[in-house]
Structure 1
Amino acid sequence: MTAIPQPLFDGPFEGSARAAEIVARVQDFLHGELAELARAHGIDHEHGADRALLQQVWRRAHALGFYGMTLPEEMGGLGLPVLDHVLIKEAIYASGSPFAPHVFGELSGPPRVGALARQATPQQMAQFIVPVAQAEMAICFALTEAEAGSDAGAVQTRAVLEGEHYVVNGRKRFISGSPFADAAVLLASTAAEGAAEREVTAFFVDLRSPGARVESGYKTMAGQTSTGDIVLEDCRVPLANRIGAPGRGLALALGRISVNRLLHCPAMLGLAQLALRDARDYALQRRQFGRSIAQFQAIQHMLAEMATELAAARALMLGTARALDAGGAARAETSMAKLFCSETAFRVADRAVQIHGGEGIVQGRRVEFLFRMLRMYRVLTGTSEIQKNTIAKELLESA
């Protein structure tokens, strides 16, 4: 079994006793069973698993109680507070496992549907949400289009009601998890042709339906292929698959945007901790001029800056989690956390590459992958510039 890395910083665990127990068990799962599975199938961060192997991971994670833990208790989850969720996710990503995103089912599992349970009809629960929660179905969230990114309401995909079905036409771009999804939570315009007001509505769409297809082929700068386009050509979606009332799509999709922004931070910081650990260990073993480079002040200062900035980012993340658990909206704080954590994590990765020297710029080295992966987080889930807009808006409106 692979040795479980020790935390970078000493100190008491800041979550609940239940969360501490989950972290210990999930670490055993990641560094034991899943590490062996990755080795057996040649899986790493840039050589992903196929759908059959992913479903094996999902089902095993579900059997161990990890897969749906983020769901509300009434759906079989643990109803975790945000702080516990953040700490568990941070530990998962700090493990370095290529299966880290699949333990919770982040790309295609329970986190995609948990917030919809209160709006879903009994039929939608049985057809979509329960199978996703039980690791029997994969689902993606399809909002982004060529002209609808930061401006989420500018969707051009149209859904026209004809009797008991909506006829849907359009193309969704850069949809995470779509290459292995069975269904999508899809947002489309239901406004009348030429209407001045936007009306965006959410639907469950079975991607195996006639007129729906997924076009894979995107490879991100981090080398991953879990993103694709969803193309809809006269796809007939039952009226019964509409989620909530017409025009409520954006409210449903963005209703938990503050929490969702924060929940990307532990992934960034977990990966950044991995970069710092790799840089520290490399500095200790790399020798130049008769001694380890860790003895050079320039290297020590880089390591000190990396550790200090990570500690500050982590404090902001945990403080924001506590504010959300206390019932605060924390709109500015979650944007601050997303902004600061993503920028900090990338700076840490950049210095880690610098410490590795020539070894750090060779493809196939983990630190080089982390550099590319952490660069992406400055764009994903809301760019740094959009976060600054939100922070400024909240600040000015509070005057």
Structure 2
Amino acid sequence: MNRSAGRSALVVGAGIGGLAAAAALFRTGWQVTVLERAPELGEVGAGISIWPRAWGILADLGVAERLADGARPALQAGLRRPDGRWLAKASAGAATRAPVMVHRAQLHEALVASLGEAEIRTGTTAEKVRSGGRGAVVETTDGTRLEADLVIAADGIRSSVRKALHQRDDVRYAGYTAYRGITAEPVPGEGSTSGGETWGAGVRFGHLPLVDGRTYWFATANRPPGETSEDHHGDVSALVGDWHEPIPQLLAATPASAVIRGDICDLRLPLRRFDHGRVVLLGDAAHATTPNLGQGACAAIEDAAVLTARLADQLDIESALAAYDRRRRPATLGLVGASRLVGVLGQIDNAAAVAARDTGLAGVGAIAGLLVGR
């Protein structure tokens, strides 16, 4: 007996988490409609790390084969100082556990392509979401009322659904901003074979090769929230332009227009319940984390797999959502906390504290294994 046959779901948000959930449910027989407030589908031009567990889920969805042939660039990863001295190197076995690095837009396109006949409505903003009767209801800003057996809120870190359910603003500014870029072409030499991070005083730089040969990089800096500048490329060059190779080489190979900037935020701890009757939170809407462990998108993909499995296991939808909450909330609570801690360490800007941190990191090579992807 297929318990999913005839059941319907409304997914609020067409980001990576929402699309992964829609694809997983569609493959198990659900009728799925995705509601996206943006007028067109799309993602920002940044790299994304897909760790082995999430990669396996994407493979089951038929998405992984659209992204790469399974080959991963050989790289030397770890943690360095601005002068290039290694503080910690990833172990030889870490390469087999390293993530696949892909362009975020390519992953998004692959997920859309996997949706089959599932419906996507762009330019549609959910104004009210609630459980009602034997299902859940979404009311949009244009007055449309939609009903389904289940509503999945995957509308991002500033989720309007989460805010309405919890009656509070859970978003927390982490104290630093991030710049992200992708080289226009593959960079020869060390730029195509190395990866990891470099930590300075209140400034970090990280880079990893994408599967298409280009290099994705990011930089972080302590800044007041909302600080703006029109020259992001120039800002990064001023911060790290004199650091070790291949950092200057990567910046030179990146068009100024390809550099994006955004303040880093996560959700306040402890995280609140993910299930609310027939409404459930997923991805950044449930557990937005700083990007310090490169696990945000992977966590959303894992959410989708666990949610789909629990819905297949149990006939009662509300019981399935409660089981999903019991499984995913503790796991993501630990992820948010651990990522926040890495950010605190990485953004230390006091000279004496930086020296003490670097001395300690030099003796803990295992941390390099956490820093080989973003």
More helix by share: 1
Structure number with higher relative contact order (C-alpha < 8 Å, ≥ 6 residues apart): 2
More strand by share: 2
User: What TM-score, normalized to structure 1?
Assistant: 0.26
User: What TM-score, normalized to structure 2?
Assistant: 0.28
